[in-house]
C-alpha cells in the first residue's frame, strides 16, 4: 500500500511525529513553497523495500522491491505547477526519471492539468498544455484508466476538473493483472481522494483459464489425448464428462 498526500505540509509534521511510533512505516516528503507544493509519500516496509529515492522540483520517487516476489518497480508522487511555462520543466523531470530507472512505473498525484476538454466543466477546446500532457503519456507508454465514482477530482466555487490521477506503464499494468482508480468521498480538501486498486489481490477462488498458446506447443494435443483416454469413471455420461474435465484441469495446471 502506498499513500500519497499533497499540499498538506502543515499536517506532515504531526504525521511524521506519529510515524516514529510505527516502525513498519517509512516515508519521504517534499516541502511546500508557500501554501502549495508539498508531497508526503508513505509505504509499508512489510510489503515493499525501498531501493533508491529521487527528489525533484515537482515530484518525489522511490524505486521499490516487493517483499513477496522481489518484483522491482517505481512510484512517483507529483504536485504539478499551475503555470504553463513551468509545466515543460515537469515533463522533462519525469521523462528523465523514466529513462534513468527504466522500470515498471506508476505516477500519481495532482498534475494540475487535464488531458481533454471534457475533463473540465465548461472547457470547449484543446490547449497546448493538454497536447503536451498527451505527448508525455504517449512517449512514456503510460495508461490512464477511466475514473470510477465521478467525473472530476477537484472543485472550488468557480471551477471543476479532473487534475488528479494515476498513470501506469504497460508493464506494470500487465503485472497488476487488473487495476482501477476510484474517486472516494471528499472530506475537508477541495480534492477528492483517489484509490488505485489492483485486481492482483483475489478475494476468492481463481478461475481456471485455458491458454490458446498451449495449442502451439509440440506434442500438446497428443498429451491431452493420452490423459483423456486414461481417465476412468463410472456413472452417467454427463457425470463422466464432468469428472474427466475436472481431472484434465488438474493435469493442465501441472
- pLDDT (0 to 100) of residue 35: 63
pTM: 0.71
11 or 199, which is more confident: 199
224 and 106, same domain (yes or no): no
In sequence order, what are the residues at sequence separation of 6 or more whose Cβ sits closer than 8 angstroms to the Cβ of residue 52?
62, 63, 101
Residue at 79 is within a domain: yes
Q: Is pLDDT above 50 for 229?
A: yes
- pLDDT (0 to 100) of residue 9: 36
| Mean pLDDT taken over the chain | 84
192 and 123, same domain (yes or no): yes
- pLDDT (0 to 100) of residue 85: 87
Residue at 204 is within a domain: no
Picking from 203, 195, 126, the residue whose alpha carbon sits closest to that of residue 166 is 195
Q: What is the pLDDT of residues 99-132, one digit of tens each?
A: 999 999 999 999 999 999 999 998 889 999 999 9
Instruction: Name the most confidently modeled range: 11-15, 89-93, 242-246.
Output: 89-93
- pLDDT (0 to 100) of residue 174: 84
Helices (H), the chain: 9-19, 84-101, 128-139, 170-176, 220-229, 237-253
119 or 2, which is more confident: 119
- pLDDT (0 to 100) of residue 57: 92
Residue at 153 is within a domain: yes
50 and 135, same domain (yes or no): yes
140 and 248, same domain (yes or no): no
6 and 29, same domain (yes or no): yes
Residue at 207 is within a domain: no
46 and 79, same domain (yes or no): yes
The most distant pair of C-alpha atoms in the chain lies apart, rounded to whole Å, by 78
Residue at 146 is within a domain: yes
Grouping H, G, I as helix, E, B as strand and the rest as coil, residue 107 is: strand
242 or 104, which is more confident: 104
Torsion of CA 112, 115, 118, 120, to 10 degrees: 10
2 or 62, which is more confident: 62
Q: Is pLDDT above 90 for 241?
A: no
pLDDT-derived band at 216, boundaries 50, 70, 90? confident
230: containing domain: 212-253
102 and 217, same domain (yes or no): no
User: Is the Cβ–Cβ distance between 62 and 49 less than 8 Å?
Assistant: no
Q: How far apart are CA 63 and CA 48, in angstroms?
A: 10
Picking from 188, 165, 153, 184, the residue whose alpha carbon sits closest to that of residue 78 is 165
83 and 150, same domain (yes or no): yes
Regarding beta strands 72-79 and 105-110, do their DSSP bridges make them parallel or antiparallel, or are they unpaired? parallel
Q: What is the pLDDT of residues 172-194, one digit of tens each?
A: 988 887 788 999 998 888 899 99
- pLDDT (0 to 100) of residue 18: 53
14 and 84, same domain (yes or no): yes
pLDDT-derived band at 243, boundaries 50, 70, 90? confident
Domain count, the chain: 2
* Range scoring the smallest mean pLDDT among 156-160, 200-204, 243-247: 200-204
79 or 2, which is more confident: 79
Amino acid at each position: 500500500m502506498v499513500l500519497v498526500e499533497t499540499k498538506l505540509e502543515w499536517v506532515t509534521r504531526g504525521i511524521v511525529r506519529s510515524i516514529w511510533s510505527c516502525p513498519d512505516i517509512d516515508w519521504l516528503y517534499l516541502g511546500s513553497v508557500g501554501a502549495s507544493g508539498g508531497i508526503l509519500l508513505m509505504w509499508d516496509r512489510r510489503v515493499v523495500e525501498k531501493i533508491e529515492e529521487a527528489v525533484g522540483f515537482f515530484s518525489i520517487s522511490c524505486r521499490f522491491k516487493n517483499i513477496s516476489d522481489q518484483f522491482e518497480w517505481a512510484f512517483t508522487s507529483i504536485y504539478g505547477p499551475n503555470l504553463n511555462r513551468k509545466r515543460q520543466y515537469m515533463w522533462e523531470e519525469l521523462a528523465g526519471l523514466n529513462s534513468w530507472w527504466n522500470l515498471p512505473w506508476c505516477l500519481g498525484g495532482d498534475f494540475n492539468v487535464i488531458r481533454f476538454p471534457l475533463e473540465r466543466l465548461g472547457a470547449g477546446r484543446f490547449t497546448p498544455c493538454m497536447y503536451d500532457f498527451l505527448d508525455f503519456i504517449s512517449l512514456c507508454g503510460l495508461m490512464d484508466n477511466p475514473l470510477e465514482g465521478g467525473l472530476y477530482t477537484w472543485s472550488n466555487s468557480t471551477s471543476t476538473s479532473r487534475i488528479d490521477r494515476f498513470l501506469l506503464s504497460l508493464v506494470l499494468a500487465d503485472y497488476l493483472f487488473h487495476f482501477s482508480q476510484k474517486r472516494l468521498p471528499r472530506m475537508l480538501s477541495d480534492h477528492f481522494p483517489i484509490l488505485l486498486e489492483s485486481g492482483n489481490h483475489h478475494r476468492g477462488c481463481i478461475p481456471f483459464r485455458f491458454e490458446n498458446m498451449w495449442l502451439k506447443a509440440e506434442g500438446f494435443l497428443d498429451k491431452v489425448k493420452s490423459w483423456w483416454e486414461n481417465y476412468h469413471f463410472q456413472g452417467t455420461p454427463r457425470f463422466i464428462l464432468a469428472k474427466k474435465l475436472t481431472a484434465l484441469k488438474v493435469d493442465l495446471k501441472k
